[in-house]
Structure 1
Amino acid sequence: MFHMINKTISSTAEAVADIPDGASIAVGGFGLVGIPTALILALREQGAGDLTIISNNLGTDGFGLGLLLQDKKISKSIGSYLGSNKEYARQYLEGELTVEFTPQGTLAERMRAGGAGIPAFFTTAGVGTQVADGGLPQRYNTDGTVAVVSKPKETREFNGQLYVLEEGIRADYALVHAHKGDRFGNLVFRKTAQNFNPDAAMSGKITIAQVEHFVDELDPEEIDLPGIYVNRVVHVGPQETGIENRTVSK
C-alpha cells in the first residue's frame, strides 16, 4: 500500500487551483534564492487575492512575490525586511498593506514551530525593543499617520535572562522550491536554497513543492525534508534565479 503513494501533480496551475481568497501562505526563499517562481506565477494567473504572505521578503519589483504585490493581491505581509522592493515600501507607507515585521531567526522558528505542533516559544531576539514592547507601525493611514501598531508581547525570565514569547505560524498553504523531489513528497534542497524552504514547508497545512528534478524515489540519506510535510509535488525543470541588486564595474 505504501508504494501506491503518489503526490505528483501534472501542472503548477492544478497545484494551486484551490487556493482561495483570504488564504495565508508561507513561501520559501531568501531574497530571490530558492523561491517557488513557477508556483507564484501560477497563483498570479489563478487570481486569488486578499492574501497573507508569510515570507522573509516579498521579492523585488516585477519578480517573484513582487508580482502578486504589483497586482494588489497581498493584503498582509509577515516577514523580516523590505529589501529593495520599492512597491512594497510604497504600499506599506501609503496604507495599502499591513506589515508584521519579525526578526529573521524568529520567523524561521515560528514557521518550524507551527509545523512541529509547538504553539509558542520563548526567545531573546527582540527583548528590549519594540518587537517585544509593542509600538511598531503595522499599518499606516493614507495621510501618513499610524493606524495600527504591534501589541506588547509576554516576557518571562529564565535563569536571569529575559525572553519574549513568540507564536508559531500554521499557514493555510505553503509554496516551496526544491532541487529534487520524489512521488512521496520527499525533498532535497540545493545549497543556500535550503534557507526558509524547509520551515515554510513545515508551516503549511497544505504544502506544494515545485521541484527542478523529479525522481521516482530518493535515497533516505539525501532527504532534507520528509514527505510527511508535503502534499503536492510538481516538476518544473531548471529555474533561473533573478539578481536582486546588480553591480557593474566601470
Structure 2
Amino acid sequence: MDKVVASAGAAVADIEPGATLAVGGFGLCGIPSALIEAVLAAGIGDLEVVSNNCGVVGWGLGRLLDAKLIRRMVASYVGENKEFERQYLSGELEVELTPQGTLAERMRAGGSGIPAFFTATGVGTQVADGGLPWRYAADGSIAVESPPKEVREFETAEGSRRYVLERAIVADFGLVRAWKGDRHGNLVYRMSARNFNPLAAMCGRVTIAEVEELVEPGELGPDEIHTPGVFVQRVVPLTPEQAAEKRIEKRTVRA
C-alpha cells in the first residue's frame, strides 16, 4: 500500500479542533516541523498535545503555543519556553507534568494495547498522591489539580515495594519525523533524533510521518527499520530545504 501524501497540508487536513496529538522529538531534535507548520497554517486549535516538551518560542510546538492553539499539554519538561510558563501560570494552558520515563512507557503501552501499568516512579509524591496543579485560575489559585492514583504493594526479589498505576496514552494522531521512510510507512530514525518518535508513532490511531528521504519498498533492510509500517498511515516526503532545517535550542561556539 502506497501511503505517500503529496503535502504536509493534505496529510493533516482531517485533524479536527479538540484532537489529541502525540508529537515526536526531544528539545528541537527530531521534531516533525513541517507537520507542525501545517497544523499552524490550518489553524487547528483546542488541541491536547502529548510530547516530551513544547518546543521554544517561535519554533516547533512553540509555534502552536504562540498561536494559542494548544489547550492542554502532557509533557515531562517545559523549561526552555517562557511563553509556556506564562500561559500555564495565568490559567490559559492546562499542563500534566509526567516523569519522562513514565511518559515514554505510557505512550509505548498505548501503542501495544496495554491499558495501564504499575511503576515505582512517583510513589510518595504528588505524582501518585494527587494535588499537582494542572490548571491555574486567573487569580493564581488552583482550578484543576491531578487526582490521586491507585498505589499497590508488590513483592519483589528485594522485598515488598509500592507501585503507582499509570494509564496508557492513545492519541488521535501521531506526528513524527524520520530520516528515511519507504512508501509502505517503514521508518528509520538517525541517532538521537529517534528519541520519542517511535513511541509517538505507536500511540497514534493515525500516524503521519514526515521523512527526509523517501525510498522504495525493499530498500530498507528489515534490521534497519525502527518503526514498522503497520504503525504508520501517511508518509510526507520533505523538500531538501525542509529536511535541512534543523534548529537547536542553544548554540555554544568558541571565540
* TM-score of the aligned structures, taking structure 2 as reference length: 0.94
Q: Give secondary structure in 1 for the equivalent of 2:223.
A: helix
216, 223, 226: which one aligns with 1:224? 226
What's the CA shift string for 1:148-180, capped at 9, x where partnerless? 110110011111011100000000001000000
Q: Distance in 1 between matches of 2:53 and 2:193?
A: 14
Partner of 1:9: 5
Same amino acid, percent of matched pairs: 61
Specify the alignment match of 1:150 in structure 2. Answer: 146
- Greater shift in the superposed pair: 35-44 or 230-239: 230-239
> 2:18 pairs with 18, 22, 35, which one?
22
* Equivalent residue number for residue 140 of structure 1: 136
Deviations 1:24-66 (A, max 9, x none): 0000000000000000001100111000000000000000000
Please identify, of 215-224 and 185-194, the stretch whose mean Cα deviation from structure 2 is larger. 215-224
Pairing 1:246–2:248 present: no
Q: Secondary structure at the match of 1:96?
A: coil
Q: 1:96 aligns with which of 92, 98, 111?
A: 92
- Structure-2 change in CA distance of 1:203 and 1:239 (3 Å): farther
Amino acid in the other structure paired with 2:229: G
Residue 188 of structure 2 aligns with which residue?
188
1:235 aligns to 2:240 (yes or no): no
CA contact (8 A) 1:36 1:177 kept: yes
Q: What's 1:38 paired with?
A: 34
Give 2:221's aligned amino acid.
Answer: D
Paired residues of 1:60 and 1:83 also in contact (CA < 8 A): no
1:54-97 per-residue CA deviation (whole Å, 9 max, x = no partner) reads 00000000000000000000000000011210000000000000
In the alignment, structure 1 segments of 5+ residues that lack a partner are none
Which amino acid letter does the alignment assign opposite residue 224 of structure 1?
H
Alpha-carbon shift at residue 240 of structure 1 (Å): 2.1
CA distance in 1, matches of 2:38, 2:227: 24
Which of 48, 54, 61 does residue 58 from structure 1 map onto? Answer: 54
Q: Deviations over 1:125-163 (max 9, x none)?
A: 111111011110000011111111101100111110111
Name the SS for the 1:112 alignment partner: helix
| Deviation string, structure 1 residues 91-116 (Cα, Å, up to 9, x no partner) | 00000000000001110110110010
Runs of 4+ aligned structure 1 residues displaced above 6 Å come to none
SS at match of 1:115: helix
CA distance in 2, matches of 1:57, 1:197: 13
Structure 2, unaligned runs of 5 or more: none
Amino acid at match of 1:234: V
What are the equivalent positions in structure 2 for 1:202-213 lying under 5 Å apart?
A: 202-213=202-213
